[in-house]
Amino acid sequence: MKIKISKYQLSTFAGILAILFWGSNVAFSKSVLETEGTYNGAFYIYFFSGILNFVILYFALGKKDFIKKIRSLPFSYYYKTGIFFILNNILLFIAIGLTKNNKELIIVTILNYLWPVLIYILKIPIFKEKPKPLIFATGLLSVVTGLFFVFFQEYSFSEIIEMLKFTNTNIWAYFFAFLTAFSWAIYSNLIKKYNTNDDIIAIPFIFTFTGIIFAFVQLFNQRIDTLDFTVLYKNTDLLITIIAPTSLGYLFWYFGIKFGNKKLITSLSYFIPVISILLISYIYSFKIEPIFWIGTLLTVLGAILSYKSFNVN
C-alpha cells in the first residue's frame, strides 16, 4: 500500500523539526563558542549557514525562481525589517558567549525565549490591536513570576540590585539576551506590517552578512588570522549548528508556517525553551533544579496566554 504524503503534511513536519532544531541551538552554539571563541565561532556558524542556504535554495527553487525571488524582495526590506533579524543573530551569540556557567546559560535561554510574549506586547502599539485584558494580564504576570523564580534561585535580592547597576558582568549576558528576544519580536511584527512574509530568499543574505560582521570584529581586534576554515571538518558541534538549528531551522520554519499547520507549529514553538533546557542538561550533564523548571513552565504558560488573549485563529 502506497502512502501519499501531502505538501501540507510534509510542511507541518518540517515546522516541527524546525522547533526541535531551534531547541538545540543554545546548547550546540555554546559548545562551538567555547572551543572556537565567540567571534570566530559566530563567524563560522553564520557565514557558512548563509552559503549552505544559498546552495539549498538555488537547487530547491531552480535558477529562474531563485533569481525571481531575489529581485522581488525590495531593498527596503533589509533596512526596515531585516536589520532586526541581523541584530537578533549578533546579540544572541554575544549573550551566549558571555555566560560563564550552565546556570547563566539557562537564564539566557529563558530570556531569549521571551520573544513570543514580546511579539504580542508590540502588537498593541504597532497594529493597534487590543488583547483580552484579563487573559493578557494573567499571561504577563505568569512570565514575570517565572523570571522571578529563575533569578532568585541564582541570585540574592542585593546581587540583583547590584547587577541592575551594570557593575556586574553577568548583567550584560542577560541584557543582550533580552535584546535578542526584543529584536526578534520587532522583526516578526514588521514583516507583517511591511508585507514581507515571503522573505525566504533574504535568509542566506542575512546569515552571510552577519558572519561578515563578526569577521570584521576580528579584523578590528587584529585577530583575523585566527580564522581557520579547516575547523569545519574538525568540529562536529560546529557542523551540527551550521546545518540544523541555523540553516535548516529557519528554512523548515518558513515552509512549515507558509504551507503547513501554522496554528499547531506556532503552539508547539512556545515549548522551545523546555527542549533547549533539556538538551543543555543532557549535553553538559547538568542537573536542572526544580525551581528552574517552574520558572520555565510559567514563562511558557505566559506565552500561551498572551497568544490566546489576541484570539489568534
pLDDT at 206: 94
Does the residue 285 lie in any domain?
A: no
CA distances from 10 to 3, 5, 53, 147, 245 (A): 13, 7, 19, 36, 18
Distance between CA 68 and CA 59 in Å, rounded?
14
| H or E element at residue 78 | none
| Helices and strands (H, E) in the chain, number of each type | 16, 0
Does the residue 136 lie in any domain?
A: no
130-161 confidence digits (pLDDT tens): 899 999 999 999 999 999 888 887 777 776 77
CA distances from 300 to 45, 131, 307 (A): 28, 18, 11
Q: Which one-letter amino acid corresponds to residue 164?
A: L
Domain that holds residue 39: 7-111+157-277
User: Is the pLDDT confidence value at 5 over 80?
Assistant: no
Does the residue 283 lie in any domain?
A: no
pLDDT at 80: 85
Across 37-46, 63-72, 116-125, 177-186, least confident range: 63-72
Distance between CA 75 and CA 78 in Å, rounded?
6
Q: Is 129 left (phi over 0), alpha (psi -120 to 50) or beta?
A: beta
For the record, the C-alpha cell of 139 comes out as: 499571561
User: Is the pLDDT confidence value at 313 over 90?
Assistant: no
Check if the beta carbon of residue 38 is closer than 8 Å to that of residue 280: no
User: Is the pLDDT confidence value at 239 over 60?
Assistant: yes
Q: Which residue has the higher pLDDT, 233 or 220?
A: 220
Check if the beta carbon of residue 46 is closer than 8 Å to that of residue 250: no
pLDDT at 168: 63
Does the residue 142 lie in any domain?
A: no
Report the domain count for the chain.
1
Distance between CA 179 and CA 176 in Å, rounded?
5
63-112 confidence digits (pLDDT tens): 999 998 888 888 888 888 889 999 999 999 999 999 988 888 999 999 99
Half-sphere exposure of 302 (CA within 13 A, CB side): 28
Distance between CA 29 and CA 45 in Å, rounded?
8
Does the residue 210 lie in any domain?
A: yes
pLDDT at 169: 64
User: Is the pLDDT confidence value at 1 over 60?
Assistant: no
Position 274 confidence tier, pLDDT thresholds 50, 70, 90: very high
pLDDT at 196: 66
277-312 confidence digits (pLDDT tens): 999 999 888 888 888 899 999 999 999 999 999 865
Can you say how many angstroms the Cα of residue 128 is from the centroid of all Cα atoms in its chain? Answer: 26
Position 167 confidence tier, pLDDT thresholds 50, 70, 90: low
pLDDT at 101: 87
pLDDT at 3: 64
Average pLDDT, the chain: 90
pLDDT at 121: 94
Across 13-22, 71-80, 266-275, least confident range: 71-80
User: Is the pLDDT confidence value at 197 over 60?
Assistant: no
Does the residue 284 lie in any domain?
A: no
For the record, the C-alpha cell of 280 comes out as: 543543555
Check if the beta carbon of residue 81 is closer than 8 Å to that of residue 187: yes
The average pLDDT across 256-274 equals: 91
For the record, the C-alpha cell of 206 comes out as: 542575512
Q: Which one-letter amino acid corresponds to residue 177?
A: A
> How much is the pTM?
0.92
Half-sphere exposure of 16 (CA within 13 A, CB side): 9
Does the residue 262 lie in any domain?
A: yes
* Residue labelled with grid coordinates 506565552: 303
Does the residue 178 lie in any domain?
A: yes
